[in-house]
């Protein structure tokens, strides 16, 4: 599994992403324990790029913004901190995430701290 993941990761890394320009917010990752975070934990690094995907029809939160590392869903922006990012994504703004801090904590909400950046262009 690891060699295949590494190959896919290298292919995805070759995609040109816009450079982040303006820091919009910092937040903990919500829902780490319910998604694929544990499976890819060993591949995560501080400074790693994350992607955001709107889930406007999410049953629990109409402003849901999912957080992805490559093609693996890690969780969500917290419900009490996702309104601005959701509105910007709905308008077509290009937001980029960065891992700010990783902590091997038993509390899932402390494991990943991330930044939301507005991308150039």
Structural domains of the chain, with CATH? 17-119 (3.30.70.2330)
Strand intervals (E) in 9-111: 20-28, 49-54, 65-69, 72-76, 95-102
Cβ(18)–Cβ(119) below 8 Å: yes
Structure token digits, residue 54: 């709107």
Percent of the chain with pLDDT over 70: 83
- The 10s digit of each residue's pLDDT in 39-65 is 899 999 999 999 999 999 999 999 999
The pTM of this model reads 0.82
Specify which residues 95 forms β-bridges with.
118
Q: Greatest CA span in the chain, whole angstroms?
A: 39
Chain centroid, CA 99 distance in Å: 8
């Amino acid at each position: 599994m690891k060699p295949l993941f590494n190959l896919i990761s290298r292919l995805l890394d070759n995609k040109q992403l816009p450079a982040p320009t303006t820091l919009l917010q910092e937040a903990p990752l919500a829902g780490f324990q319910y998604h694929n975070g544990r499976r890819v934990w060993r591949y995560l690094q501080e400074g790693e790029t994350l992607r955001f995907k709107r889930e406007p029809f999410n049953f629990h939160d109409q402003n849901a913004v999912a957080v992805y590392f490559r093609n693996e869903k890690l969780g969500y922006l917290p419900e009490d901190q996702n309104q601005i990012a959701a509105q910007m994504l709905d308008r077509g703004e290009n937001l980029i995430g960065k891992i700010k801090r990783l902590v091997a904590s038993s509390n899932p909400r402390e494991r990943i701290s991330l930044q939301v950046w507005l991308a150039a262009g």
